[in-house]
Every structure is written in C-alpha cells, then in structure tokens.
Amino acid sequence: MSRKPTDFSQIITLLNELHKSFPKYNIGRHISTALDGSDLWGISDKQLLAALNKYRDQQEIDAPYTNERELDAIISDGMNLDHLFDEDDY
C-alpha cells in the first residue's frame, strides 16, 4: 500500500511543473503571486499547496494569446466599426 504524498512533496512537484510551464518566471514570482500578500511565515504546507494549485489553475486559464495576425485583425476591425453598419450588409 503506497502512502499519500505529503503536502511538502506535492509543493515541490507543483513548483517543478510551474517551472517547466513558465520557465521565464522565477520561484519567488510564483510563490509571491500565489500568496497575494499573505504572510509567508505563518502559512502551513497545506495552505501553501492550496494557494499554489489555485495559482497554477489561474495561470493556465490566463495563458496569453499568441496569434499576432488574428490580434491585428481584431484591432483593425475595431478601429473600423463604421463598416459594421453599412446598409449593404443587411
């Protein structure tokens, strides 16, 4: 029967995953952003793990959109909104 990984080992694993997913971010940025100003000294491993999991989930949701051509088209279309209301389109 295998033991459940400790919160500490899960934190280390999660930080490794974050490093692989976001190699330009340092560990301090991950922890600081995950804790969002909370007191690091008084936080338990369980609380830190929960905060890091929530942070990872948010990072995955907030992934930057990288299709530059499509972004340029959206911006261009937004700057020419008067074409949306042309009578020929109805």
Phi, psi of 17, deg, nearest 5: -60, -45
**pLDDT above 60 for 90:** no
Encode pLDDT of 31-76 as tens digits.
999 999 888 898 999 999 999 999 999 988 876 666 788 878 888 8
Looking at residue 40, its amino acid is L
The DSSP H or E segment spanning 64 is none
Encode pLDDT of 26-38 as tens digits.
999 999 999 998 8
Q: What are the structure tokens assigned to 67, written together? A: 């299709």
Cβ atoms of 48 and 85 closer than 8 Å: no
Q: What are the structure tokens assigned to 77, written together? A: 């279309």
Mean pLDDT, to the nearest integer, of 77-90?
A: 69
